[in-house]
Structure 1
Amino acid sequence: MARVLPARLAAKFGQGRRFDVDVVSEPFTSGSKDPFELVRRIRDRASAENWDVVVALTDLPLHADGHTLVIDLHHAYGLALLSLPPLGGFRLQTRARRAVEEAVLGLVNPQPRGAERGPRRQRLPAPFAGRFTSIHPDPAGGEDAADLRYVVSGRRGSLRVLAGMVRANRPWRLVPGLSKALAAALATGAVATVNSTVWSLAQSLSTHRLVIATIGSLATMIGWLIVDAQLWHRSSKSSPEARQRARLYNTSTIVTVGIGVVVCYFGLMVINFVWALFILNDRVFASLTRSPLDAADYVTLAWFVASVATVGGALGSGLESDEAIRAAAYSKREQERRRSLESDHDDERAI
């Protein structure tokens, strides 16, 4: 983003204005879920630098006054605070770049004389206007109150935030991260595929029973991973925002782990299908099941064995360390935050 922003900003602003972009990355882990606290820390960091405009990006979902925050604009300080999860889980790079561009242009444009603190009537162009709800906070809210705030609202907004949080967790990392669980699942599937009892069971099961077996095995695997690795987030506070934050974190955990487990499940189906094609003999199969072996039998057997193997993988995941599962389920920053939250929670209980 930093490579393309100077040229894009100069082209949009015109008047021969030149932009230089500096990138600073700092971890905010503990006590940084309050936008006011984040703004204060960013102002302290920016005071030591010769910056005209500061745009802070965070992958934390931020809440203020019962709303999920997208962006806060502080014209008096030339500062914008942008939360990435509300931008969604798709085309994040493009949306984030557009959001930063519009924030910078909104902060750089001079305000008319006699204007009150904060552009109460200013409307930013896309991607803000028309996509998010704008709120003009009361100036009496304190020196750290934003001049202009955009938030997400409604069910669609909540889904957008959830998709952004799941993307930040990178669920595709879960598959290679559970090596012991996958080894157990593959071993279970290999043994089950050559078991004549499993052949008979697979043939006797109807489609809706196979679907139930699939759902049950996936739920077992997801639940086991979350409980065994202690991925469930419990808030130490009883405020509505804390409860909402806990629900978001737990839902994103379920979706993240669920995506990884579903990918593993379909991978097991493919592997079991190929293994069955290689190992099964139609004459032996027909003599034991009293029915000829056809293409539907291969698919049904691979489907049923995948469910059995997933349960075996759930048991095998107990061999994984909690740290290994957390590393597979969460990004590095999210792991740091959760460790910090657990430490704060332990300190509160000790007190």
Structure 2
Amino acid sequence: MVAEHGLPETLITNGEDRIRGIAERFGMDYRGVTVTRDTTLQMTPRGDLETVWGSDRIPDEVVVFVTEMPRLFSGLGGDTRARDSVVLAELDRERGAAVISLPALGPSPRRRLGKLITMVVSVLKDSSTEPFELSRGLVVERDGETEYVVAQGLVSRALLTAGMVRGNRPWRLIPMLTGMTAAAAAAASFGVFFSTIWSMANALSPWRLAAISVLSMVLATLWLIVNNRLWERTTDTYRPRARLYNTATVCTVVFSAVVLYVGLFLAVLVAAMTVIDETFLSSQLGFQAGLNNYLNLAWLATSMGIFAGALGSSADSHDDVLRATYGYRERLRRRAAQSSQGGEMSESH
């Protein structure tokens, strides 16, 4: 097993007992897992994967590479209906190697990963070239010597997007937004100390408060994407993959914005209930105040805070934010491939 650093490494390392059982089922020895970063799996100029296994295959050896990179079948040499279908695995029987794309297995890939490893080992262990059986909903497409296990339909694309969002680890973006969080908290504090905000919050209907909340999170999302240049241009990669990367980026940033909003809302609610006495709040509103009035106050104050935080600050580390996007990680792979080719040319001279 060869696994990329990150989620593939975690899943393979934690599931080694199961993988060892799979190997024993086929009369093989499990030789462990090798963890790589950006050099074993590289990107070709047209965006395909290029595995560096070496030209010679050791008899009866099977190498399975698990990558975090999403794969779309381009349709070259295959049915046009399969174009841009989601690729779960790529198999090269001649070299006894397979590449499994982890994001295609969805946000909870552990069980499906074990089944897919079992399938590819079974195929690669068999030296014949006969077609192999697949689970329901999967088909095999060929491009030269490579066989692609692909899934079609909206469900497979939704699973791929969800898997990519998990691969981006959006919860890691939140600690990088301390500047935005501080600006949002400072702006939201006005809602706790100014009675005008109290009256306005309780005068607005729930629908209007909800609209303000959505607008504030949309603004925060747009600001983070534009300010940190997270949008993947179609000139950098081909259009379907650019759309895929941008969808995952938007979902990742939205997730971070929602978590930030919920955290700030709870903090403002606790602060309001601690600082503002219920009797005093009732006297300012002109009627008996209750929990729902504190909720409305925190709701509007949080939306105001997110507005101010989005416009008033940016992420603390531009590079760290970029690492949470697939487009940036793909560019790193291209650079690694170019550096490797440049090094080989220098050695040959």
Q: Distance in 1 between matches of 2:328 and 2:189?
A: 35
For 1:135, the equivalent position in structure 2 comes to 140
Does the CA-based 8 Å contact 2:176-2:317 persist in structure 1?
Answer: no
Q: Answer whether contact 2:88 2:102 (CA < 8 A) is retained.
A: yes
Equivalent residues in 2 for 1:281-296, closer than 5 Å: 281-296=277-292
State the partner residue of 1:107.
124
> What is the Cα deviation at residue 43 of structure 1?
3.5
> How far does residue 119 in structure 1 lie from its aligned partner after superposition?
1.8
Maintained 8 Å contact 2:60/2:125: no
Work out the CA distance in 2 between the residues paired with 1:338 and 1:186.
36
The ranges of structure 1 where at least 4 consecutive aligned residues each deviate by more than 6 angstroms after the TM superposition are: 48-51, 340-344
Deviation at 1:160, TM superposition (A): 0.9
Separation in 2, partners of 1:231, 1:310: 20
Q: Distance in 1 between matches of 2:199 and 2:335?
A: 49
Structure with a larger share of its residues in strand: 2
Pair 1:192 & 2:184 matched: no
Question: Is the 2:42–2:336 Cα contact (8 Å) retained in structure 1?
Answer: no
Structure 1, gaps ≥5 residues long: 112-117, 345-351
Cα offset, 1:4, TM superposition: 1.7
Measured at CA, do residues 26 and 286 of structure 1 come closer, stay the same or move farther in structure 2, by a change above 3 Å? closer
Residues in 1 aligned to 2:111 and 2:46: alpha-carbon distance in whole angstroms: 25
**Which blocks of at least 5 consecutive residues in structure 2 are unaligned?**
1-11, 76-82, 338-349
Question: For the residues of structure 2 that align with 1:318 and 1:110, how far apart are their CA atoms?
Answer: 55
Amino acid at match of 2:119: E
Q: Do structure 1's residue 84 and structure 2's residue 102 form an aligned pair?
A: yes
- 1:1-351 to 2 correspondence within 5 Å? 1=12, 3-5=16-18, 7-14=20-27, 17-27=28-38, 28=41, 30-31=43-44, 34-35=47-48, 37-38=49-50, 41-44=51-54, 47=56, 52-64=61-73, 65=75, 66=83, 67-90=85-108, 92-111=109-128, 118-120=129-131, 122-124=132-134, 129-132=135-138, 134-137=139-142, 141-142=143-144, 145-146=145-146, 148-236=147-235, 242-318=238-314, 320-327=316-323, 329-330=324-325, 335-338=328-331
SS of 1:81 mapped into structure 2: strand
- Alpha-carbon distance between aligned partners in 1 of 2:120 and 2:312, rounded to the nearest angstrom: 49
Q: Look up the equivalent residue of 2:230 and give its one-letter code.
A: L
Q: CA deviation at 1:335?
A: 4.2
Deviation readout 1:16-65 (Å, 9 max, x if unpaired): x4332342414145437744x52xx3343x64978811212211112231
Work out whether residues 45 and 334 of structure 2, in 8 Å CA contact, stay in contact via their aligned partners in 1. Answer: no
TM-score (norm. length: structure 1): 0.80
The answer to whether the 8 Å contact 2:176/2:315 transfers is: no
Q: Aligned equivalents of 1:62 and 1:292: distance in 2? A: 59
**Percent of matched pairs sharing the same residue:** 29
Q: Output the amino acid matched with 1:260.
A: S
Moved more, 150-159 or 315-324: 315-324
For residues 61 and 336 of structure 2, the distance between their equivalents in structure 1, rounded to whole angstroms, comes to 37
Shift of 1:298: 0.7
- Show the counterpart of 2:78: none
Query: Does 77-86 or 212-221 show the bigger shift?
Result: 77-86
> Are the counterparts in 1 of residues 89 and 101 from structure 2 also a CA contact under 8 Å?
yes
Q: CA deviation at 1:321?
A: 4.5
The CA deviation at 1:150 is: 1.2
Residue 318 of structure 1 aligns to a residue whose secondary structure is coil
